[in-house]
């Protein structure tokens, strides 16, 4: 009967989600090679062999996670692009949002950490490598466009938009890793400090909610 087939399907998906979730945490903190299938199984609470009932290999789990992470990131970037605000407000919003997320979302910093591991190591599965090379430039391109628009508008600092984008993302990235590796007492700096790099004087009101209209 279709009913129970669907239910089984659903339960299988849930189980796979559990594995992914545990694996994300472990890959993010320990990296691909230091994480053993046994660790993942233990974290989920299943026998080591059972993992292979859901995934063919450790690499498959890893590639799946990398794919999810890149998609999540790029979706966020595109939604930023499609917002109605003027460029300099987008930049402010993006920085504030990213800082807030770094501060509060464990899942997000884990994801950043996963990607950091992946981009920083050449010893990752071929499929993962391909995905990363394919997708990693998208956020840079989109931010560069916003920077260029802001320059036309006169609100963004005069400098090569591509370079601004590189500084934008590398700074965010560095900060996310910093936060991820010192969960404890650490607090994230004020977003205004970063914003100052990109905005011309007179547009620094990162805290002001007084948008026109």
Partner DNA sequence: GTCTATATCCAGATAGAC
Partner DNA sequence: GTCTATCTGGATATAGAC
Sites of contact with a copy of itself (CB under 8 A): 29-35, 113, 116-117, 119-123, 157, 159-160, 163-164, 166-167, 169-175, 177-178, 180-181, 189-190, 192-194, 196-197, 201
Cα 45 to its chain centre, rounded Å, is 27
Q: Which does 72 bind (CB under 5 to 8 A by kind): a copy of itself, DNA, none?
A: none
Is residue 45 left, alpha or beta, with left meaning phi > 0 and alpha meaning psi from -120 to 50? Answer: left
Site for DNA in 169-188 (CB under 7 A): none
Q: Which does 43 bind (CB under 5 to 8 A by kind): DNA, a copy of itself, none?
A: none
The candidate with the shortest Cα–Cα distance to 88, out of 167, 173, 152, 140, is 152
Residue placing its CB nearer to DNA in the complex, 50 or 159:
50
At its nearest, how many Å lie between a copy of itself and the CB of residue 163? 4
Residue placing its CB nearer to DNA in the complex, 39 or 107:
39
At its nearest, how many Å lie between a copy of itself and the CB of residue 66? 15
What are the CA-CA distances from residue 53 to residues 1, 74, 175 (Å)?
23, 31, 38
Residue placing its CB nearer to DNA in the complex, 36 or 81:
36
Site for DNA in 47-106 (CB under 7 A): 47-50, 52-53, 56-59
Sign of CA dihedral 115, 121, 124, 130: positive
Q: Which does 48 bind (CB under 5 to 8 A by kind): DNA, a copy of itself, none?
A: DNA
* 23, 40 contact by CB (below 8 A): yes
Site for DNA in 6-35 (CB under 7 A): 8, 11-12, 15, 35
DSSP H helices, 86-160, are 87-104, 106-120, 126-135, 138-153
Measured CA to CA, the distance from residue 135 to residue 69 in angstroms comes to: 11
């Amino acid at each position: 009967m279709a009913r129970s087939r669907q239910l089984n399907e659903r339960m299988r998906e849930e189980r796979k989600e559990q594995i992914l979730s545990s694996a994300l945490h472990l890959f993010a903190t320990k990296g691909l090679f230091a994480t053993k299938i046994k660790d993942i199984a233990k974290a989920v609470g299943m026998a080591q062999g059972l993992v292979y009932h859901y995934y063919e290999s450790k690499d498959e789990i890893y590639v799946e996670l990398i794919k999810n992470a890149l998609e999540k990131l790029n979706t966020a970037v595109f939604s930023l692009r499609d917002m109605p605000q003027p460029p300099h407000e987008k930049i402010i919003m993006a920085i504030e949002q990213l800082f807030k997320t770094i501060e509060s979302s464990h899942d997000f910093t884990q994801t950043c950490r996963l990607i950091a591991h992946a981009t920083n190591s050449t010893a990752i599965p071929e499929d993962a490598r391909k995905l990363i090379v394919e997708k990693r430039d998208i956020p840079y391109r989109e931010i560069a466009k916003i920077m260029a628009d802001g320059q036309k508008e006169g609100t963004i600092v005069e400098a090569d938009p591509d370079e601004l984008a590189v500084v934008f993302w590398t700074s965010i990235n560095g900060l996310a890793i910093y936060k991820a590796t010192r969960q404890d007492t650490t607090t994230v700096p004020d977003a205004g400090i970063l914003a100052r790099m990109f905005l011309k004087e007179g547009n620094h009101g990162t805290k002001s909610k007084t948008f026109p209209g």
